[in-house]
Amino acid sequence: MKPISLTGIKPTGNPHIGNYFGMYKPAIALTEKYLGLYFVADLHALTTTPDRKELQHLIHEVAAGWLALGLDPDNSVFFRQSGIPEIPECAWMLACVTSKGLMNRAHAYKAAVDKNLEAERDPDDGINMGLYNYPVLMAADILLYGSDVVPVGLDQKQHIEIARDIAENFNRTYGKTLKLPEGLFAEDLQDVPGIDGRKMSKSYGNTIPIFADENTIRKQVMRIVTDSRTPEEPKNPDGDNLFQIFRLFATPERTEEVRQHYLAGGLGYGTLKQELSDTILAYFDDARQKFNDYMQDTTALDAILERGAEKARDIAIPVLKRMRKAVGIDR
């Protein structure tokens, strides 16, 4: 069997072009070398999405997005996290060898505490145990399938480190049982800038959504922040977030042509924004149609995820059996 790569994504809504170039596209490409496991992290979403109907819609959106953007469920393992009943048991066994201090150092928890302190609230105000124990569940996601690699950005390196720490604790306590995963860090991938120049992120409200309607996409592109230079003035393409987004979609020849126009002058930002809008719409045209088709037939989506869960369980059950035997609760 091929080595296993594991990718999970929390259902948080319509993916944007930063998600595509930073995660979807490189993760899907891994199926050439690895047995790719891809899951919708719906259990993780319970920490922030208490509304049932909203969560169901978000789950279907992220599933439809993966398939529309090129994931082949016949050449991979694509499933819902909640479709694997072994996950909670695995997470509990891992929690029993995880120190509270390790959880205290987790980025998400520390960020929530810092936010409360800045607002002069109780440090743990609004923090539930789901958020606090988030890294243990994430470790279960990684370790239960014997994952060889987990592709993540450098800003998510801690997730892999915690999973490895927990696996080492388990192995030290019960004997070598769990495989230690390696992080696959895409150091050559730069963060895609948002329309305001910061990293593109839903939390900043600066995204260009892939599956939005044409008017929304054009409006977001026109909102890309640029300086006040006139079309005739030379510009620095390397320091311009409009150019940085444009080059993700343009051919190398067109990218170089536009770069020279920046340096020499003679190109207006408005003109380039119009071209970028047209290019983005054309680039994702087929994917947008597939996405809409999937969202019109969520029963078919659920069936694909259920078939994937069956394949994922075939991988997970032997690992859980080893864990149960190691701790002494096998039967």
Provide the pLDDT for residue 189: 55
Active site residues: 115, 199, 202
3-class DSSP string for 45-83: HCCCCCCHHHHHHHHHHHHHHHHHCCCCCCCCEEEEHHH
Q: For 56-83, what is each residue's pLDDT tens digit? A: 999 999 999 999 999 999 999 999 999 9
The CATH architecture assigned to 4-192+297-327 reads 3-Layer(aba) Sandwich (3.40)
3-state secondary structure of 16: strand
Provide the pLDDT for residue 191: 77
Report pTM.
0.92
Q: Can you tell me the distance from the alpha carbon of 268 to that of 260, in angstroms, rounded to the nearest whole number?
A: 13
DSSP helix, strand, coil percent of the chain (3-state; round to 5): 60, 10, 30
Provide the pLDDT for residue 190: 57
Q: For 13-41, what is each residue's pLDDT tens digit? A: 889 999 999 889 999 999 999 999 999 99
Annotation: CATH topology of 212-283: Tyrosyl-Transfer RNA Synthetase (1.10.240)
**Residue 110 in this model has a pLDDT that exceeds 60:** yes
**Residue 279 in this model has a pLDDT that exceeds 90:** yes
Domain boundaries, the chain: 4-192+297-327, 212-283
Structure tokens at 265: 């002058």
Q: Can you tell me the distance from the alpha carbon of 242 to that of 247, in angstroms, rounded to the nearest whole number?
A: 9
Sign of CA dihedral 154, 149, 192, 136: negative
- Reading phi first (left if > 0) and then psi (alpha if -120 to 50, else beta), residue 251 is in beta
Q: For 40-59, what is each residue's pLDDT tens digit? A: 999 999 998 889 999 999 99
Please name the residue that has the structure tokens 């991988």: 315
Confidence grade of residue 210 (pLDDT, cut at 50, 70, 90):
very high
Q: For 132-167, what is each residue's pLDDT tens digit? A: 999 999 999 999 999 999 998 777 889 999 999 999
Closest to 52 measured CA to CA, from 92, 151, 60, 219? 60
Confidence grade of residue 328 (pLDDT, cut at 50, 70, 90):
very high
Provide the pLDDT for residue 185: 77
